[in-house]
Chain A
Amino acid sequence: MTGTTGSPTGSVTTRDLTKSFGGVRAIDGASVAFHEGEINALIGPNGSGKTTFFNCVTGMIRPDSGTVTYQGRDVTGLPPHRIARSGIGRSFQLCRIFPRLTVLENMLVAVQPHGLLQRLRGSRNPADVGRARELLARVGIDHLEHAEARDISYGQQKLLELAGVLMGDPRTIMLDEPAGGVNPALVDRIADLVRELNAEGRTFIIVEHNMELVMGLSDHVVVFDRGRPIAQGAPAVVQDDPLVLEAYLGV
């Protein structure tokens, strides 16, 4: 399913986004448009600003200048929870879960509706728990719901993080190296999940170093180098771009 291909106002769009750390311009006037309804990939050499870009889009870092819009709405500089509420879920590069909460409790954190009374409601109500179990079953770790998250394996933690993000029901999901540090079988499983979820209408923006995965999975690829996009397009096109080869090989 391709969805609304090529509508640049649809998903995450940035204009002249800039962020410096001291003298280093981590993001240097990046203008990028991700495609709604597609699996977008963000690739580039180490230190090209991919994670900083992620953090600026999701509000973890405030950009120095430039704008971030999501579905036509300006979300620049909003706090992370507001951005999450607007429909962007994210995972972290080094998988982050709540170590001393159980797997099920980890899932229930993402249920934070509006209104004081709703927030004071029991978190273990049947509706929320049911949905959490469904998602845990979907990623394949429902049998671990009573285990503390710190006790499960790294691969299982990655799946838990993904399931937790899904619990918030985001329309757009940003994954920072979903295949980093997991075994090949699990990489396939995660790729299948991404495809299924995309087919259900969710947009993905994925930072990934595993080129085989990126080329096989994505519809649209953005290549970053030194804090700005140097190429965008279908995987096959980007792969042969001389600028991309130069950035990666350092010619």
Chain B
Amino acid sequence: MPNGSSNVRTSRPTAVRAARTVALLALVALIVLFPSLAPDPFILSVGVVILSYAVLATSWNLVGGFTGYISLGHAAYSGLGGYATALLILRTGMDPWLALIAGGLIVAVIAVPVGIASLRVRGASFVIASIALVLIVQLVFQSWHTFTGGSNGLRVPRPFGTEVLRPEQHERFFYLHAVLLALALLTWWLIERSRLGAGLKAIREDEDKAQALGVPTFAYKLTALVVSAFFTALGGGLYALWFGYLDPIFQFSILIGSYMVLMSLLGGVRSLFGPLLGAVVVGYAVEVFKSQYGDTQLHLVATGVLLGLVVLFMPDGVIPALTSALNRRRGAASIREVSAEELANQREETAR
């Protein structure tokens, strides 16, 4: 009997792995083919926006999903990434791509003291600290006219020459965002499998218990935040290079940070592709609402309703909800299937 159950156990993951590989290949194919499938440049630009959201949400999930520290102010890092990239190009004449990476590194360094200050508090206090951060940065970038352009905004030089037309721009930036998304996903995946990841997930579940088991919780949280800030800044920088214009009100808005949280929660913060799925759903919905109803606030109402539905019916997110439904239908080995008799047999075996 124990042999039978262990067979089930080993065969299930191979089937799951095969299904996963197929899904992954389909995803890659879809992203690679999207620019040629898109009927017009507008749809392609929507694709870029959605991928940008996906980068931001996946980056957010590096800290939110692993540690359970919900930051509503992650727009601070994306906005700083955008401004750092733009200002490095404008002030130092740096190569745009080098500026993008340097901007990411600068923001990662900034995230260290921010993390040391804010990661001391948990739960709602951390959320409020994260909101305070984005509001402070917004205020600074709005007021410091001489350096940041203030509320007039900042024009970001195009990295590609004028001979590259708009549709071509969109296509290039679509692929650039796809590459960045792939890097962020790969990082999440690598951490998830590591001992660092095991410690981070333990922090999410029960921080004091994790520390009692020897996990250096503060250092781990800080590491996650810095890595997350780095990728978020790259996402913000790449978006700035594509969009070509920065306005402190939009760059450092709580709304952008809330979108990252909503997307991740919708798809599932504990799964690799959760934030990506959430970005596709929410990003698409937001664009549809904007194009249908113009500049009304209706898309905010819709987003709010969506968040309510997710929290009510799929608190773990879509992907975990679907996986567990699938497992239930397949009748995956649950605890109850191991009888007391089997247990006794196993114990006897080990005793022998």
- CB of B210 within 8 A of CB of A109, answer yes
A100 to B214, CA, bound (A): 19
Whether A100 pairs with B270 at a CB distance below 8 angstroms is yes
| Chain B contact residues, majority secondary structure | helix
A121–B202 Cα gap in the complex (Å)?
17
- A151 in complex: contacting residue of B5, B205, B335, CB < 8 Å: B335
* Cβ of A113 under 8 Å from chain B: yes
Interface 0/1 of B314-352, CB less than 8 Å to A: 000000000000000000011100100011001100100
Chain B residue contacts of A100, Cβ below 8 A: 205, 270
Tell me if B142 counts as interface (CB < 8 A to partner A). Answer: no
Are A112 and B215 closer than 8 Å at their CB atoms?
yes
Closest chain-A Cβ to B200's Cβ sits at a distance in Å of 10
Total A-B pairs in contact (CB under 8 Å)?
A: 111
Chain B residues whose CB sits within 8 angstroms of the CB of A81 once the complex forms: 211-217
Interface residues contributed by chain B, number (CB under 8 Å): 36
Q: List B contacts of A112 (CB < 8 A).
A: 195, 199, 213-216
Q: Is the CB of A122 within 8 A of B346?
A: no
Contact B202 A147 (CB under 8 A): no
Q: How far is the CA of A227 from the CA of B37 in the complex (A)?
A: 74
Q: Which A residues are CB-close (under 8 A) to B199? A: 109, 112, 119
| Binary interface encoding of chain A residues 130-160 relative to chain B, with 1 for a CB under 8 A from any of its CBs, else 0 | 0000000110101110110001100000000
Chain A residues with Cβ under 8 A from B270's Cβ?
A: 100
- Taken residue by residue from 188 to 204, chain A's Cβ proximity to chain B (1 for < 8 Å, 0 otherwise) reads as 00000000000000000
How far, in whole Å, are A63 and B213 apart by their CA atoms in the complex? Answer: 20
Residues of A within 8 A of B196 (CB): 119-120
Complex Cα distance, B208 from A142, in Å, reads: 25
With the chains together, A147 CA to B209 CA distance in Å? 20
Q: Residue-by-residue, is A216-237 near B (CB-CB < 8 Å gives 1, otherwise 0)?
A: 0000000000000000000000
Which residue from A90, A98, A123, A144 sits with its C-beta under 8 Å from B193? A123
What B residues does A144 contact at CB under 8 A? 335, 338
The yes or no answer to A11 lying at the interface (CB within 8 A) is: no
* B95 on interface, CB distance cutoff 8 Å: no
Does A211 reach chain B (CB closer than 8 Å)? no
CA distance in complex: A168, B208 (Å): 16
A144 to B196, CA, bound (A): 24
State A147–B332 Cα separation when bound (angstroms). Answer: 10
Contact with B along A79-93 (1 / 0, CB 8 A): 111001100011010
Q: Are B202 and A98 in contact (CB under 8 A)?
A: yes
**CB-defined contacts of A143 to chain B, threshold 8 Å:** 2, 5, 338, 342-343, 346
Q: Are A123 and B195 in contact (CB under 8 A)?
A: yes
**Are A140 and B198 within 8 A (Cβ)?**
no
Residue of A nearest to B192 (CB): A123
Which chain B residues border A147 with CB–CB below 8 Å? Answer: 334-335
B201 at the interface (CB under 8 A from A): yes
- Separation in Å of the A92 CB from the closest CB of chain B? 7
A110 and B213: CB pair below 8 A? yes
B194 at the interface (CB under 8 A from A): yes
A105 CA to B216 CA in the complex, in Å?
Answer: 17
Q: Does B20 contact A (CB under 8 A)?
A: no
Is the CB of A96 closer than 8 A to any CB of chain B? Answer: yes
Specify which chain A residues have a CB less than 8 angstroms from the CB of B218 in the assembled complex: 79
A111 contacts partner chain B, Cβ-Cβ < 8 Å: yes
A99 within 8 A of B: yes
A124 vs B342: C-alpha distance in the bound complex, in angstroms? 27
Contact B212–A84 (Cβ < 8 Å): yes
Question: How far apart are A170's CB and chain B's nearest CB, in angstroms?
Answer: 9
- Tell whether, in the assembled complex, residue B211 and residue A121 are in contact, meaning their CB atoms are under 8 Å apart: no
B168 close to chain A: CB less than 8 A: no
Q: When chains A and B are docked, how far (Å) is the Cα of A138 from the Cα of B342? A: 16
Q: Are the CB atoms of B202 and A101 closer together than 8 Å?
A: yes
A97 beta carbon closer than 8 Å to chain B: yes
Shortest CB-to-CB span from B304 to chain A, Å, is 27
| Bound CA–CA A152/B334 (angstroms) | 10
Task: Say yes or no: B214 contacts A84, CB within 8 Å.
Answer: yes
| CB <8 Å contact, B347 and A140 | yes
Q: By the criterion CB–CB under 8 Å, are B215 and A109 in contact?
A: yes
Query: Is B195 touching A146 in the complex (CB atoms < 8 A)?
Result: no
- Other-chain residue from B195, B213, B335 in contact with A118 (beta carbon distance below 8 A): B195
- Check if A14 is an interface residue, CB within 8 A of chain B: no
A96 touches B9 (CB 8 A): no
Cα(A140)–Cα(B351), bound, Å = 10
22 contacts between A and B (CB under 8 A): A58-B212, A79-B211, A80-B211, A81-B216, A84-B212, A90-B212, A98-B209, A99-B205, A100-B270, A101-B202, A101-B205, A105-B201, A118-B195, A119-B199, A120-B195, A123-B194, A140-B343, A140-B347, A143-B5, A143-B346, A146-B333, A151-B334
